[in-house]
Amino acid sequence: MSYVNIPAELRQEKAWVNVWNNSKIPMQSTVRKAASSTLPDTWSDYIDAEKNVQHGYYDGLGYVFHDTGLVGIDIDAGFDDGFLSPLAADIISHCESYTEKSRSGRGVHILVRGSLPFKGKNNRNGVEIYKSSRYFIMTGNVLIFPEIIENQAGIDYVVEKYFHDAPKESSGSSAPQRIYSPIYHKPENGKLTLKPEYPPITSGSRNLSLTSLAGQLHNQGYSKADIFKELLYANSVACKPPLDRSEVELIVNSVTRYRR
């Protein structure tokens, strides 16, 4: 391990745990008890975590993400025959932020500053992304980009390309749960507003919000053509900037394949 390469800004935080080689369970650095990625009282400072590794009490250390504007991306299959996999190369080139090899040597961790429209997600296709309630076993084995930078555009790219179905499926139904809701106004002066008002949608949550909207319309019995037409309208008035028409079509196709 090359812990000296772990960014100093992380080493100054009290957000560290320890691990053994044969386990992914986070352990507290000051007592032999399991730690929790959601309980700050079980985390320690970097010095204690590193000393435990130096003295052989534990085999590794981990940093806990806790919603401080730092996003972690974990790519399982980072290498293909010794070279970066196309998946890893794509994500790394768009983030251009701190990138290290994982403990196994087969994966890649990327740490980048910005916002995430959800707590975290595993896309079940080799990519995970988190902003809180998760920890990464850090190695300091820098692959490229030794510094953490702010790159919201890179995060948005990863979310839109690899986590376009981020809304979780509700229990008992395969349709996406409601995350984004239009505003329906009451009649004023005897006049009824036919179209709802669509609140602004930020660039990092365009796919997420339009998928939620499509799910609502689908559950209400709208046809695929009507859903596509309404999503195009919402995309044009609420998304800044709007998604490509083809992206909207993919969302509609994905949602309407579910049975109402």
Q: What would the DSSP string read from start to end of the chain?
A: --GGGS-HHHHTSS-EEEE-TT----B-SSSSSB--TT-GGG-B-HHHHHHHHHTTS-SEEEEEEESSSEEEEEES--EETTEE-HHHHHHHHHH-S-EEE-TTSS-EEEEEES--SSSEEE-SSSEEEESEEEEEEE---EEE--S--B-HHHHHHHHHHH-TT-SPBPTT--SBPP----BPPPPBTTB--SSPB---B-GGGHHHHHHHHHHHHHHTT--HHHHHHHHHHHHHHHBSSPPPHHHHHHHHHHHHTS--
Q: How confident is the model at residue 41 (pLDDT cuts 50, 70, 90)?
A: very high
Domain termination site, one of 133, 161, 189? 161
Residue 255 vs residues 14, 172, 218: alpha-carbon distances, Å:
42, 16, 8
Query: Mean of the pLDDT values across residues 135-163?
Result: 94
Separation between Cα atoms, residue 248 and residue 224, nearest integer Å:
12
- Residue-wise pLDDT for 20-36, tens only, equals 998 889 999 999 899 99
Question: Average pLDDT, stretch 182-193?
Answer: 61
Average of per-residue pLDDT across 45-72 = 96
Non-local CB neighbours of 36 within 8 Å, separated by 6+ positions: 26, 42
Q: Are residues 218 and 260 in the same domain?
A: yes
179 and 157 together in one domain? no
**For range 109-133, the mean pLDDT:** 93
Q: Which residues of 235-248 are buried (b: 16+ CB within 10 A; e: fewer)?
A: beebbeebbeeebb
Check whether residue 42 and residue 155 sit in a common domain.
yes
Residues 128 and 194 in one domain: no
My answer on whether 181 and 94 are in the same domain is: no
Out of 139, 161, 183, a domain closes at 161
Determine the structural domain holding residue 247 and report its residue range. 164-260
Q: Position 43: which residue type?
A: W
Digit-coded pLDDT (tens) for 212-224: 788 778 777 888 9
Question: Is the confidence at residue 168, as pLDDT, over 80?
Answer: no
**Amino acid 173: pLDDT:** 41
Q: What mean pLDDT comes out for the span 131-143?
A: 96
118 shares a domain with 49: yes
Chain-centroid distance of CA 203 in Å reads 14
pLDDT at res. 195? 73
Does 104 lie in the same domain as 142? yes
Mean pLDDT of 9-25: 93
The pLDDT assigned to 186 comes to 60
pLDDT at position 134? 95
pLDDT value of position 177: 43
- pLDDT at position 188, please? 57
| 9 and 104, same domain (yes or no) | yes
State residue 174's pLDDT score.
43
From 108, 133, 161, the end of a domain falls on: 161
| Same-domain pairing of 145 and 199 | no
pLDDT, mean of residues 149-153: 93
pLDDT at 181 over 80: no
Q: Tally the domains of the chain.
A: 2
For the beta sheet containing 132-138, the strands, ordered from the edge strand earlier in sequence to the opposite edge, are 16-19, 60-66, 132-138
Are 25 and 46 part of one and the same domain?
yes
In a shared domain, residues 145 and 200: no
pLDDT the model gives residue 37: 92
Phi, psi for 80 (deg, rounded to 5): -135, 110
Mean pLDDT within 171-193: 55
Mean model confidence pLDDT for the chain:
87
171 — pLDDT class (breaks 50, 70, 90): very low
132 and 206 inside one domain:
no
